[in-house]
A and B are shown apart, each in its own frame.
Chain A
Amino acid sequence: MLTVDRERIEGAEGPMGVTPSLDFDSVRLVEVSRHFGRRRAVSRVSIEARRGDLLGLLGPNGAGKSTLIGVLATLVQPTSGEVRYGGHFARELGPPLRRQIGLLAHELHLYTELSARQNLTFFSKMYGLDPRSTVEPALERAGLADRADDDVAGFSRGMRQRLALERALLHTPRLVLFDEPFTGLDDNAVGLVSARLRRLAADGAIVVLATHDLDLAEGLVTRVAVVQS
């Protein structure tokens, strides 16, 4: 299903005059550090993930997993070290790179005052996509088709999480970043999200999953990087 989405979206890019597309097969952090004076958030981390990988970023809370996810998402600037997307450096890219990144963080990146449909429509337009062809399928996948016009404020944690996941994947990014996506989910929802992650990786995305939950990660990830505090 995802491959189909990608084709359709790339077809839609041309006439709308979206930023030129950019693609990459791997993401590499080389000796990345992030310090605040003597306090270190991340110290000399090197990892690499390729297409089809489901890389688990494991470690206790406060070990700097979120900072690493932020660095990969280009939201956080490392103090030293470099980040490569295929053959490119993060700082030479900008919009075309952000077009290929999807982030689902612990905070859900949703406007609770808006309905599920309004949230998806807004972000779909911000990504230069056509909401008529992206919003309905996303609502279907989230299992929220019948609640589409309800405010997110009234949703349960599980519903919000599913919506947030679809919001983060609206533009079928090449690099998918998850920061503790299982918090507050019941077993059923965990299963759904896990299945979605596997499918993303199988369809050629680079998936990075940061979590402190070793049990959940165990059966899911294909490669592991352990971050120590």
Chain B
Amino acid sequence: MRKLFAPLLVLTAVMFAYAPVVIANTRYESTMFLVQKIFYFHFASWMAWAAAIGVCGIASAVYLFRADPRGDRLAVAGAELAILFGAFGLVTGSLWGRKAWGVWWQWDARLTMALMAELIFVGYLLVRKYGGPGAEKLAAGMGIFGAATTPFIYKSVDWWRTIHPQTSVVRNLGETAPDMYGAMLFCTVAFLLLFASLLTVRVHLESRRAELDRLYLALEDQP
């Protein structure tokens, strides 16, 4: 992993550097004009967010059933990144809403739900911090259940009458506007790579912390 990290970082940086060019080259959307360009990062950040939640849920289950501390480190990194990318998605979504709907915050179902999902992972960090000794396990439960509830949150959007662009927009984009579709894919890959790099760094930090704790205890054991 360490060998792969430098190329990963370089690739991510290059893709982010090139992303504005890709986005600038797409056509102007007929009603939203310039603001529509937010969409490329908006959509991409939600993809990274979904990946972060998936990682947190699966890693929590691994920690819970295998008692492998690496699972716990991965889960906490996933939860923090879910909050980060979720916040990014909410801000870009809010900017979009200002232009499209004329208000910063519309009680649109998907935005509301995203905020709720955001709360779950803030709750995850809270239980880690204030849950007392052994809170990692409680947090693991939260991680699994949080990841499991997200699809339900997502699904209820389609059923609640919503003003959010429907998910089918993304599907149709491939046929109606291939340049937009390409830019969207490009940004999604860039965000997923950013997610992977941040995850690696965060997990590494957490392992270092564990190593430090171990050394500290070993030092105490010295006569």
How long is the Cα–Cα vector from A93 to B149 in the complex, in angstroms?
A: 33
List which A1-60 residues lie within 8 A (CB) of chain B: 35-41, 43
Complex contact A38–B134 (CB within 8 A): no
Q: Provide the residues of chain A in CB contact with B217, threshold 8 Å.
A: 35, 38, 40, 43
Pairs A-B, 6 closest by C-beta atoms? A36-B133, A38-B213, A37-B213, A38-B216, A40-B217, A77-B67
Q: How far is the CB of A33 from chain B (nearest CB, A)?
A: 9
Q: How far is the CB of B60 from chain A (nearest CB, A)?
A: 16
* Interface presence of B175 (CB below 8 A): no
How many chain A residues touch B (CB < 8 A): the figure is 9
In chain B, what residue has the closest Cβ to A33?
Answer: B217
Q: How far is the CB of A15 from chain B (nearest CB, A)?
A: 35
Q: Provide the residues of chain A in CB contact with B221, threshold 8 Å.
A: 43
How many chain B residues touch A (CB < 8 A): the figure is 7
Q: Provide the residues of chain A in CB contact with B133, threshold 8 Å.
A: 36, 39, 41
Q: Provide the residues of chain B in CB contact with A39, threshold 8 Å.
A: 133
Complex contact A36–B134 (CB within 8 A): yes
Q: Provide the residues of chain B in CB contact with A36, threshold 8 Å.
A: 133-134
Q: Provide the residues of chain A in CB contact with B213, threshold 8 Å.
A: 35, 37-38
Contact with A along B115-138 (1 / 0, CB 8 A): 000000000000000000110000
Q: Provide the residues of chain A in CB contact with B67, threshold 8 Å.
A: 77
Q: Provide the residues of chain B in CB contact with A41, threshold 8 Å.
A: 133
How long is the Cα–Cα vector from A41 to B213 in the complex, in angstroms?
A: 14
How long is the Cα–Cα vector from A29 to B134 in the complex, in angstroms?
A: 21
Q: Provide the residues of chain A in CB contact with B216, threshold 8 Å.
A: 38
List which B165-223 residues lie within 8 A (CB) of chain A: 213, 216-217, 221
How long is the Cα–Cα vector from A38 to B214 in the complex, in angstroms?
A: 7
How long is the Cα–Cα vector from A38 to B218 in the complex, in angstroms?
A: 10
